[in-house]
Structure 1
Amino acid sequence: MKTKHLKTNTIGAMFNQLKCNFGGSVVKDSKEYILEMNNEIGEGRIQGTALAGGISYIDFDMTFSEDIALSINIPNKSPIYFAYCSAGSMGHSFGVDGAKSELERFQTGIIASPSGDENVLYFKKDERLKVAIITVQTTKQAQNSKKEGLKGKLYKTFFKDDSLNNFVYVGSQNLQIAEKVQQINAIKQEGLVKTLLLQGLVHVILALEIEQHSKDSKNNEFQLGSLTIREMKAIKEASTYVNDNFDTQISISQLCSEFGISPSKLQEGFKLMHGRTVTDHLRTVRVRKAENYLKNTDMNISEVVYSIGFSSRSYFSKIFKESYNCSPSEYKMAQRELSISA
């Protein structure tokens, strides 16, 4: 196993060190850094962005050619790491001799470490890894500030009684976070707009991770429904299929057959991931696509209805109004007036 080292708290310096450790090339686009590599160490990319409030977001999409240990030591800081694994698995220990914990697919993880303590991440050989890591730099001063914000609240939650003990938590599987990570990966905008969208989704992920930790703390045997890892993978794939094929006729039986899952498990998974049944989610996806067509294309209402897989214009108008509080024709007219005034 090869051990690599990171000793910095700035994202630019971090990517320079990653390049020195792993090779490849680094590209900077606005506030985002991307390390692309395809060499004897591994293949894939690592992306990272510094966000407001001492928060950074790092996304690993890598397949390493050998077992790797990445030692992280950030001086003069008390970082809290929030991790989510979308594919593969990742190990962690405090120091190379510390007890090792494992973050599996769809699991949440929270690591809190006092200043100067070493965190070691372990990546397996020949296993595709997709893991998102949110780092929040906390300080005791933030907790004691009259304007206690996110940093102070996190410090108070995970560094209890001023003891500054190491803390690691590996939680239950969570499909809602998988959806948010997927939304981050689907962001097409650039520059400031991308940063703002990323920051919003990162805050949602933080909230979901903390919520999961709170639920698990109340019941150590708490699991996210009765779904297995295989079933959760099938739910995620079925959800992606619905998003990509919203304009076709999709049935529950078709999805069950395609992804090898029972109707009850399919419905349970969609409620966990989206808060809606399969039918309600498909309808929501279609209405959102219709809104985009009305705003950004010259298609008329009938063309939009056909393009999203509906056959009834009156039914489409009804559910569109329920979502946007106006009819499709009123929405289309408003977009035209905005375009003319601009």
Structure 2
Amino acid sequence: MRKFKVKVSNSLDMLKRLAVETDSLINEDYGSAVMIWNKALGDGISRAFEILPGLSVIIYDVELKEDFLFTKDESIANTLYLMYCLEGNVLHKFGNEKIYESVNEKQNVFLQGEKHRSNDVLIPAKSRVKLSVIYIVESLLETHRDFKGGYLSSGLQELFNFIGTDRPYRYFGPLNSKIAHFAKQLYVGKNIDFVNRLLMEASVLQLLANQISSLQSPKSESIVGEKLSTKELKRVLDLSNHIVNNLDKNYSILHYTKYAGISAAKVQAGFKHYFNETINTFTRNARMAKTKELIETTNLNFSEISYLVGISSRSYFSKEFQNYYGVTPTKYRKSIENIKPHFELSYHSVANSGNTDEDVRNILISSKENNTNRNITGCLINYNDSFFQILEGSKNDILSLMKKIKSDDRHSDLEIIWSGFRSHRSFHNFSMAYINNDEVRTISDRNKAIDTDVLDIIKTHQRKTIPVSRFWEQVKNQLMVHMESVAS
């Protein structure tokens, strides 16, 4: 039996640690990640997605070669889990119990542990399992109550009140095929592009609503089957990609029907099937989701953002954002630092073949000076004629620094690996850690060294035949998990 113990209460962090533990490939993007399971352990993928701080989901679509036990340490946060097994079955017990309870196919399950007891979930070997687990973290919901009008976080808080937080809780509901309809949408796409994030969010919210409804009124239900063919449904997904890739344009329904090659009625039925909304509502939601992403990850002004998402009026843009999220764009941009105060960016580039040791020393000296003044931390790797750097700090400072880095002629072919907000720093003890082919050291006023195991991490991944960007993404995840384990 393979065992995996984890303490984090965010599905994205859990998936990252799972990828490191199983030596699986993981691709992370804005608010989402997909992991391809190591073939030595099984066949399948797992995906994680965050809707807002305190609400996230992880999905397993896998057949494993041996039993896999997940042990979740509940000591750091009060977390409620909503589980739904679309296919196969898994087993659950609290840490002090000896006998597992079976979570059967199409069964709705609510779980809540307590600080001194773990949650143990076992995925049996040699059986296909499609399992979704929604994470609801009470403490994080409190910090985000005003977001999206507050209705979502306040409604979830009522769920904690209904269940109670002073004791472990386990509810095994009856089989429910209506929930299955929304659950299966989680397994439609394999990528983590923008459309799939929208599909995931719509499906998770519908799944969440129906799971809560079944808790309050437990009865089996059925749902009418789809009326579109597989080919027509594929055309609807293609159309949804076309819309999000052209948010700056305002197309008519006639354009959409011509693009998809199906009638207007079938276009609307397809969007109801996948997103449970009309095509107009989907477009509006896509614009608001893209706006939120651009506010979080860029320094574009609001006029530039409104143009990119197809809203010509700046006042209407602000009104739409406030109606959708419950706060103005200006207030949301200011609030991000309170919710997730640290911006992280990592990139890979090709080192100039003419670089000397003196050039590298100058890079490190300037890094120390600039980073100390701006409270930027991180790590620089100079390995096999490549630079890889992780930067942590305020978003404005990081993006300003990146402008200078991009214009530096000591490297070329710069590619951003990941950027976004984190709740904590991984390199808080280092103004700039430095790793090259031969050594691991730090550029810091704090007299602390990085464990030399980090170099072994890089050398191990160098032997894998994967694309360069994917290679450095694996190194980043390994390195971040390693640093967090050292800190703890």
TM-score bracket for this pair, using the shorter chain length: 0.5 to 0.7
Partner of 1:174: 176
Q: For residues 303-326 of structure 1, what are the alpha-carbon distances to aligned partners after superposition, in whole Å with 9 as ceiling and x for unaligned?
A: 856x97xxxxxxxxxxxxxxx9xx
Q: 2:256 aligns with which of 296, 302, 305?
A: 296
Q: Is the 8 A contact 1:82 1:133 kept in 2?
A: yes
Question: 2:22 aligned with 1:22, yes or no?
Answer: yes
Q: C-alpha displacement at 1:44, in angstroms?
A: 0.9
AA aligned opposite 1:209: Q
Q: 2:187 aligns with which of 161, 185, 195?
A: 185
Q: C-alpha displacement at 1:295, in angstroms?
A: 3.7
Gaps of 5+ in 2: 241-252, 267-277, 279-310, 313-488
Closer, same or farther in 2 for the Cα pair 1:155/1:245, shift >3 Å? Answer: closer
Q: For residues 285-310 of structure 1, what are the alpha-carbon distances to aligned partners after superposition, in whole Å with 9 as ceiling and x for unaligned?
A: 9xx99x9984425389xx856x97xx
Between the aligned partners of 2:140 and 2:32, the Cα distance in structure 1 is 29
Q: Is the 8 A contact 1:64 1:126 kept in 2?
A: yes
AA aligned opposite 1:112: Q
Q: C-alpha displacement at 1:17, in angstroms?
A: 1.7
Q: C-alpha displacement at 1:113, in angstroms?
A: 1.8
Q: 2:206 aligns with which of 184, 198, 204?
A: 204
Closer, same or farther in 2 for the Cα pair 1:215/1:298, shift >3 Å? Answer: closer
Closer, same or farther in 2 for the Cα pair 1:102/1:188, shift >3 Å? Answer: closer
Between the aligned partners of 1:141 and 1:128, the Cα distance in structure 2 is 33
Between the aligned partners of 1:21 and 1:68, the Cα distance in structure 2 is 12
Closer, same or farther in 2 for the Cα pair 1:190/1:26, shift >3 Å? Answer: closer
Question: 2:229 aligned with 1:244, yes or no?
Answer: yes
Partner of 1:154: 159
Among all aligned residue pairs of Structure 1 and Structure 2, give the percentage whose two residues are the same amino acid.
Answer: 18
Between the aligned partners of 2:156 and 2:262, the Cα distance in structure 1 is 46
Q: Is the 8 A contact 2:73 2:118 kept in 1?
A: yes
Q: Is the 8 A contact 1:72 1:120 kept in 2?
A: yes
Q: Is the 8 A contact 1:107 1:174 kept in 2?
A: yes
AA aligned opposite 1:244: S
Q: Is the 8 A contact 1:5 1:21 kept in 2?
A: no
Partner of 2:138: 138
SS in 1 for 2:91: strand
Between the aligned partners of 2:118 and 2:82, the Cα distance in structure 1 is 16
Q: C-alpha displacement at 1:166, in angstroms?
A: 0.8
Q: For residues 25-83 of structure 1, what are the alpha-carbon distances to aligned partners after superposition, in whole Å with 9 as ceiling and x for unaligned?
A: 11112221111124332221110012214111111001110112110114321110001
Q: Is the 8 A contact 1:172 1:224 kept in 2?
A: no
Q: Is the 8 A contact 2:26 2:34 kept in 1?
A: yes
Q: For residues 123-171 of structure 1, what are the alpha-carbon distances to aligned partners after superposition, in whole Å with 9 as ceiling and x for unaligned?
A: 111000001110100149959x997703421210111xxx611111111
SS in 2 for 1:35: strand
Between the aligned partners of 2:41 and 2:96, the Cα distance in structure 1 is 21
AA aligned opposite 1:153: E
Q: C-alpha displacement at 1:20, in angstroms?
A: 2.9
Closer, same or farther in 2 for the Cα pair 1:164/1:245, shift >3 Å? Answer: same
AA aligned opposite 1:296: Y
Q: Is the 8 A contact 2:177 2:220 kept in 1?
A: no
Q: Is the 8 A contact 2:6 2:73 kept in 1?
A: yes
Partner of 2:100: 100
Q: C-alpha displacement at 1:10, in angstroms?
A: 3.4
Closer, same or farther in 2 for the Cα pair 1:40/1:204, shift >3 Å? Answer: same
AA aligned opposite 2:118: E
Between the aligned partners of 1:142 and 1:151, the Cα distance in structure 2 is 10
SS in 2 for 1:43: strand
Closer, same or farther in 2 for the Cα pair 1:155/1:66, shift >3 Å? Answer: same
Q: Is the 8 A contact 1:79 1:115 kept in 2?
A: no
Between the aligned partners of 2:20 and 2:192, the Cα distance in structure 1 is 27
Is the radius of gyration larger for structure 1 or structure 2?
2
Between the aligned partners of 1:184 and 1:141, the Cα distance in structure 2 is 23
Between the aligned partners of 2:35 and 2:96, the Cα distance in structure 1 is 26
AA aligned opposite 1:54: G
AA aligned opposite 1:152: Q
Between the aligned partners of 1:199 and 1:56, the Cα distance in structure 2 is 9
Q: Give the TM-score, by structure 2 length.
A: 0.44
Closer, same or farther in 2 for the Cα pair 1:112/1:295, shift >3 Å? Answer: farther
Closer, same or farther in 2 for the Cα pair 1:158/1:295, shift >3 Å? Answer: farther
Q: Give the TM-score, by structure 1 length.
A: 0.61
Q: How does 1:7-18 map to 2 (within 5 A)?
A: 7-18=7-18
Between the aligned partners of 2:21 and 2:196, the Cα distance in structure 1 is 28
Q: Is the 8 A contact 1:87 1:130 kept in 2?
A: yes
Q: C-alpha displacement at 1:111, in angstroms?
A: 0.4
Between the aligned partners of 1:189 and 1:41, the Cα distance in structure 2 is 21
AA aligned opposite 2:32: E
Q: Is the 8 A contact 2:10 2:56 kept in 1?
A: no
Q: For residues 206-243 of structure 1, what are the alpha-carbon distances to aligned partners after superposition, in whole Å with 9 as ceiling and x for unaligned?
A: 11111111223xxxxx5447xxxxxxxxx99xx36x43
Q: C-alpha displacement at 1:176, in angstroms?
A: 1.6
Partner of 1:229: none
Aligned length, in residue pairs: 249
- Superposition RMSD in Å: 3.9
Q: Is the 8 A contact 2:34 2:191 kept in 1?
A: no
SS in 2 for 1:111: strand
SS in 1 for 2:185: helix
Partner of 1:250: none
